[in-house]
Amino acid sequence: MAPPLIEARFRVDWPGFSLDVDLRLPGRGFTVLSGPSGSGKTTLLRCVAGLERAPQGRLVVDGEVWQDGAQGLPVHRRPIGYVFQEASLFDHLSVLGNLRYGLKRLGSGADPARLEQAVALLGIGHLLERRPERLSGGERQRVGIARALALGPRLLLMDEPLSALDLARRQEILPYLERLREELDIPVLYVTHAPDEVARLADHLVALEAGRVLAHGPLQELLVRLDLPLRLGEQAGAVLDATIGEVDTRWHLARADFDGGSLWARDPGLPLGQRVRVRVLARDVSLAAQPGASSIQNQLPGVVEAVGADDHPALALVQVRVGAALLLARLTRRSADQLGVVPGQRLWVQVKSVALLETR
Ligand X SMILES: Nc1ncnc2c1ncn2[C@@H]1O[C@H](COP(=O)(O)OP(=O)(O)OP(=O)(O)O)[C@@H](O)[C@H]1O
Q: Note the residues at the interface with ligand X (CB under 6 A).
A: 14, 17, 35, 37-43
Are residues 19 and 128 in contact, defined by beta-carbon separation less than 8 angstroms?
no
Q: Are 297 and 264 in contact (CB under 8 A)?
A: yes
End-to-end CA distance of the chain: 23
CB of 79 to ligand X, least distance (A): 23
* 3-class DSSP state of 89: coil
CB closer to ligand X, 179 vs 212: 212
We find the least distance from the C-beta atom of residue 37 to ligand X, in angstroms, to be 3
Nearest CB to ligand X, comparing residues 27 and 35: 35
How many residues are given for the chain? 360
Q: Which is nearer to ligand X, 46 or 255 (CB)?
A: 46
| Under 8 Å between Cβ of 257 and 245 | yes
DSSP bridge pairs for 19: 12
Cβ-based nearer residue to ligand X, 131 or 193: 193
Q: Can you spell out the DSSP letters for 298-323?
A: EEEEEEEEEEEE-SSTTEEEEEEEET
Q: How far is the CB of 282 from ligand X (least distance, A)?
A: 24
Min dist. Cβ of residue 163 to ligand X (A) = 9
* Count of helix runs (H) and strand runs (E) in the chain: 8, 21
Least distance (Å) between residue 210 CB and ligand X? 9
In degrees, rounded to 5, the angle at the alpha carbon of residue 343 between the alpha carbons of residues 341 and 348 is: 55
Among 214, 221, 154, smallest CA distance to 188 is for 154
The smaller minimum CB distance to ligand X, of residues 158 and 287, is found at 158
* CB 16, min distance to ligand X, A: 6
- Minimum distance between the CB of residue 308 and ligand X, rounded to whole angstroms? 24
Q: Which residues neighbour 262 within 8 Å (Cβ) at sequence distance 6 or greater? A: 245, 255, 256
Cβ nearer to ligand X, comparing 50 with 132: 50
Q: Which is nearer to ligand X, 10 or 264 (CB)?
A: 10
Least separation in angstroms between CB 86 and ligand X: 14
DSSP annotation of 2: P
Cβ contacts of residue 161 below 8 Å, gap of 6+? 83, 84, 85, 141, 144, 145, 177, 190
* CB of 31 or CB of 274, closer to ligand X: 31
- Minimum CB separation of residue 102 from ligand X in Å reads 25
Which of 18, 297 has the CB closer to ligand X? 18
Pairing outcome for strands 298-309 and 346-351: antiparallel
Q: Which helix or strand (DSSP H or E) is residue 332 part of?
A: strand 325-332
Q: Answer yes or no: are the C-beta atoms of 335 and 270 closer than 8 Å.
A: no
Name the DSSP class of 13.
E
